[in-house]
Structure 1
């Protein structure tokens, strides 16, 4: 079973860096819906040794996508383990990973970043939390379907609370086929509000405008949660 092989591969990768030093876990979850009756629920996690500088990183991401195609409801399940490197500085981080996406269905017009089907993937991420506004850029490429998903986000802290604070900003997403015979692209843009809880976690809410080459323009809304800096205490 493809899902079983993915879990086994992740377990092997996570065991490798455990003997180096204490490990740091970051976990996240997001859910979104739009006016075309498509919705997705996604969870993921990554592990890297603690500290600044270059460190190995392993990650896994899984999602459930449901959307309407010609009056018929379609559901896609996916899991994608990956491994790579993370370079952390005082005010930011660069990360790159390679992996494999195991997907239950081949999607003719992909709606999310993993592309139209199973295959090898490459992901890069850059984050700056010292700048004002704070910046983040993510790009994920699926080699089998030649599909690119990218996101840019800028958030400016505007209010300090007793614990944490509030930030406001904007995000933009572009995705589509960059090769092959398929011709599909989509983009979305909108404001975001972030609540930093003060307990090494963030809650983010966003909504805005979405358009694609295969459907009429519509709205989207999403909510996301990130918990970072969790020490696993491994040696």
Structure 2
């Protein structure tokens, strides 16, 4: 029994480097509410079903390790009910995701979680190197969002509609978050995107769903978009 307990404790120490909960600060945000459409000119749309591949997870082991110790009061207060926290100390970011979602591989992304039954209802995070130091270095919020939707997020056959744009500051780090939909003749998807620059990286979190379900899940997914934070590494 002593050997078993020692092994379980060692496992929890190793896992704590990847799955850990950080403290949250009250964000300062500025909101814009445009609603306009953009005709897009570049075919960089993603076929999510073909890009999604499952990988073996350590989440079960992490849950086992965490269950060996009682949760602290801070842990309970920081994570909203029905959400879990993903923290990547190695790559310098964290966010919340619905607790009934599961982790999966999304090609070209560092982390991703999706609904158990609705694969297009998901969140994913990616980053690329940059010599910029702040999201404001990309330009004003409205210009950045318009450029991304026109030249990066949408295909030529899609129309992009912007619903809302916000700036926020947490722990002296700045973020852009915007809500949008991509629509073509046969399909429409709505999403939030959160952008941040830190650690020499340009981070992007996207969380979305089929637009037919958007009204039902929008508030739930907004929590995910607003929870994204960059960590110092």
TM-score by length of 2: 0.29
Q: Greater strand percent: which structure?
A: 1
Q: Greater helix percent: which structure?
A: 2
